[in-house]
Structure 1
Amino acid sequence: MPRPSLTRAEVLDTAARYVKEHGPAALTMRKLAAELGTAVTSIYWHVGNREALLDALVERTVHELATIRPRGGTPARRIVSVARALRRDLRAHPHLVAMVHERGLTERMFLPAQQALVHEVHAAGLRGARAAEAVRAIQYQVVGYVLVERNRERSPAQHPGEEDLWDEAAAEQDPGLARALARPVDSEKLFVVSVRALVESLVGR
């Protein structure tokens, strides 16, 4: 029998944390049992085998990404809020999102965000192919931005970096631009600027 205090939710929470820290390939039932301080048989009792555990993690990730709630006083602002929430969730669950993709459930994972976007582009007056184009453009903007962010974060230190490339000699025509490009990127601010520009071009303010 499983440890009385152990619950299925605790098993999934610990497994999700382990996957986030080490990646899905490193997760084994034995390692998970050690993390929980229990027997492997107890894990099986709560969630089944490793494949069943991974399926449960995927289902929970899909469910968690379904809780996006638009905010704002206009359709455009609510669309931006959906985009920001989707980016935040994708960045918070990189390994779990990868597992969803590997199991062929990516489209299902994005469906709640798409539904929220459809509601808002309809509120902005778009219909048919124009509405679908807007939804996909915003979704691709979010996913593409997250991929660029993760690539920059995982890439080795750059030599020379932007602060070296945009020196005084390169700054003669626009010193303010050179100073700004030499500073570290504010990813959140840049994302909001880019997604707002896209949304306003598609649905207005």
Structure 2
Amino acid sequence: MARQTLSREEVLDAAAALVRAHGPDGLTMRGLAAALGTAVTSIYWHVGNRESLLDALAERTVADLGAIRPRGADPVERIGSVAHALRRALRERPHLVAMVHERGLTERMFLPAQRALVREAHAAGLRGERAAELVRAVTFQVVGYVLLERNRERAPVQSPAEEELWGAETDGADPLLARALAAPPESERLFASSVRALVEGLLAGPRTPSSGDITDIGDTGGGAVGRGPYSQ
């Protein structure tokens, strides 16, 4: 027997669950109706056709990512908390994020998190290009890390595996390094340390060129010092 009452949010919740489990291709109107215990005509009445449903799911995913709120007692912690929250949000809904990307809404999806980063950059005293650099660097770090995690999780079994590759290097100059690289990576810890190092470096401000910097090619004496990453 078909359900007598059904809300648009219930339809979107069930559709999102199907996409999470099976990807966008696994979302059919008949399958969704069966999951909800209702008629296909009821689904159409609430959300329109399948393309309209996918659009609604993409819009809701964008809205969900807007709920990120910074936490922490200092700028490094607060900016880092945005990075951690964005990573969690992306990892929790990979198929929905892919669907958002396919619909050309990627920039809109990241905008709320980037606005939060802008506010934190301003609060930390960064302005202009330095603030923009922090926003983009943190965003790229999160997205790149999530993509690498997903690729590692879905990769075929490697032969030789990391432990075999690095296990043969124990007689080198740094056996502790080889042993550490042979062990499975601690993903959470690695992400936390890399984000913290990135944010601390960006908040520290332009570095002063040192005598160890590379000089311009062709300089034959008294020439310019090689340009650092913050040089104008």
Shorter-normalised TM range: over 0.9
For 1:105, give the aligned amino acid.
Answer: L
Give the equivalent residue in structure 1 for 2:169: 170
Unaligned runs of 5+ in 1: none
Tell me how far apart the structure 1 counterparts of residues 169 and 105 of structure 2 sit (CA, whole Å). 47
How far is the alpha carbon of 1:186 from its aligned partner?
A: 1.2
- Equivalent positions of 1:26-175 (< 5 A) are 26-167=26-167, 169-172=168-171, 173-175=173-175
How far is the alpha carbon of 1:3 from its aligned partner?
A: 2.7
For 1:128, give the aligned amino acid.
Answer: G
**Which protein is bigger by CA-based radius of gyration?**
2
For 1:55, give the aligned amino acid.
Answer: D
Tell me how far apart the structure 2 counterparts of residues 115 and 4 of structure 1 sit (CA, whole Å). 42
How far is the alpha carbon of 1:181 from its aligned partner?
A: 1.1
Tell me how far apart the structure 2 counterparts of residues 54 and 184 of structure 1 sit (CA, whole Å). 37
Moved over 3 A (4+): none
Matched-pair contact (CA < 8 Å) for 1:3–1:42: no
Matched-pair contact (CA < 8 Å) for 1:70–1:78: yes
Cα RMSD (Å): 1.4
Q: Percent identity?
A: 71
Normalised by the length of structure 1, the TM-score is: 0.95
Would you tell me which structure has more helix in proportion to its own residues? 1
Matched-pair contact (CA < 8 Å) for 2:3–2:37: no
Structure with more relative contact order (C-alpha pairs < 8 Å, separation 6 or more): 1
Matched-pair contact (CA < 8 Å) for 1:19–1:27: yes
How far is the alpha carbon of 1:47 from its aligned partner?
A: 1.1
Matched-pair contact (CA < 8 Å) for 1:138–1:195: yes
| CA deviation profile, 1:141-192 (whole Å, cap 9, x unmatched) | 110111111111111011111111122x411222222221111111111111
Matched-pair contact (CA < 8 Å) for 2:117–2:135: yes
| CA deviation profile, 1:34-68 (whole Å, cap 9, x unmatched) | 11121100111111111111111111111110010
Aligned residues: 203
Unaligned runs of 5+ in 2: 206-232
Tell me how far apart the structure 2 counterparts of residues 103 and 166 of structure 1 sit (CA, whole Å). 42
